[in-house]
């Protein structure tokens, strides 16, 4: 008889600790003077002690309009990951048959890919006030042919934010312009991974 099981150890009172992680991230931004816009591309590599490998690529277009009082930013991100070494959709037999005694049917540890689409519009009303609205869609899809597609979330959300800057704050126009005209950025991260569906 087979049962779906949460992530657990052979002793269910002793869950496995957080995995050891190896993460590398790089991004490059190219500014186009004639278009008053920039294109940012990024790549992220992830590996952990659960046996998961993941690759993520992203693209964001930053477009200034209306004499730099309006910015439109469409974004796309794609990620693919392998399954954890102890993942399966069902189990039979004793827990001790798996190395370390770990078992999981948590869909977030399966072989999968995700796609994120989004767009954000920022209006700089004055140097001290700007408004932001966005639309975001995130989809997660299985690749192993075994995990039910109903397990994977595909949420959609919208955001609306307004900010008021006091005299002591830096000019937001300068902040945004500096961000989109940055020529290159390369960093190594060691604390960015979550099995949640947040983008």
Domain span at residue 101? Answer: 21-187
Cβ atoms of 104 and 5 within 8 Å: the answer is: yes
What is the pTM (predicted TM-score) of this model?
A: 0.71
Q: What percent of the chain has pLDDT above 90?
A: 48
pLDDT tens track for 39-74: 999 999 999 999 999 999 999 999 999 888 999 999
Q: Higher confidence at residue 100 or residue 170?
A: 100
Does 70 map to a domain?
yes
Residue appearing with tokens 């209306």: 66
Is residue 172 pLDDT above 70, yes or no?
no
Q: What percent of the chain has pLDDT above 70?
A: 68
Is residue 6 pLDDT above 60, yes or no?
no
Q: Is the dihedral of CA 189, 108, 50, 41 positive or negative?
A: negative
Q: Please tell me the predicted confidence (pLDDT) of residue 130.
A: 84
What is the rounded average pLDDT for all residues in the chain? 76
Q: Please tell me the predicted confidence (pLDDT) of residue 127.
A: 79
pLDDT tens track for 116-167: 999 999 998 887 888 899 999 999 999 999 999 999 988 888 777 766 655 4
Nearest to 41 by CA among 54, 31, 33: 31
Does 2 map to a domain?
no
Q: Mean pLDDT check: name the lowest of 23-27, 89-93, 143-147.
A: 89-93
Does 152 map to a domain?
yes
pLDDT tens track for 101-120: 678 888 999 999 999 999 99
Cβ atoms of 100 and 94 within 8 Å: the answer is: no
Q: Please tell me the predicted confidence (pLDDT) of residue 18.
A: 85
Does 198 map to a domain?
no
Report the domain count for the chain.
Answer: 1
Q: Please tell me the predicted confidence (pLDDT) of residue 163.
A: 66
In 3-state terms the chain splits into helix, strand, coil percentages (rounded to 5) of 10, 50, 40
d(CA 116, CA 104): 26
Does 25 map to a domain?
yes
d(CA 167, CA 177): 19
Does 50 map to a domain?
yes
Does 11 map to a domain?
no
Does 14 map to a domain?
no
Is residue 186 pLDDT above 50, yes or no?
no
Q: Please tell me the predicted confidence (pLDDT) of residue 67.
A: 86
* Sequence-separated (6 or more) residues with CB below 8 Å from residue 172: 124, 127, 128, 130, 163, 165
């Amino acid at each position: 008889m087979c049962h779906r099981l949460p992530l657990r150890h052979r002793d269910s009172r002793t869950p496995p600790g957080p995995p050891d992680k190896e993460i590398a991230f790089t991004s490059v931004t190219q500014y186009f003077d004639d278009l008053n816009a920039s294109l940012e591309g990024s790549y992220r590599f992830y590996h952990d002690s659960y046996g998961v490998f993941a690759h993520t690529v992203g693209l964001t277009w930053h477009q200034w309009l209306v004499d730099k009082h309006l910015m439109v930013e469409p974004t796309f991100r794609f990620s693919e990951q392998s399954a954890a070494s102890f993942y399966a959709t069902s189990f039979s037999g004793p827990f001790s048959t798996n190395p370390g005694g770990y078992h999981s049917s948590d869909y977030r540890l399966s072989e999968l890919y995700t796609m994120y689409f989004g767009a954000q519009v920022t209006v700089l009303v004055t140097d001290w006030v700007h408004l932001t609205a966005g639309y975001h869609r995130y989809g997660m899809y299985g690749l192993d042919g075994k995990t039910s597609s109903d397990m994977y979330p595909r949420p959609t959300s919208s955001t609306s934010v307004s900010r008021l800057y006091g005299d002591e704050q830096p000019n937001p126009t300068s902040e945004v312009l500096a961000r989109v005209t940055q020529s290159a950025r390369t960093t190594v991260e060691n604390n960015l991974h979550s099995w949640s569906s947040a983008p």
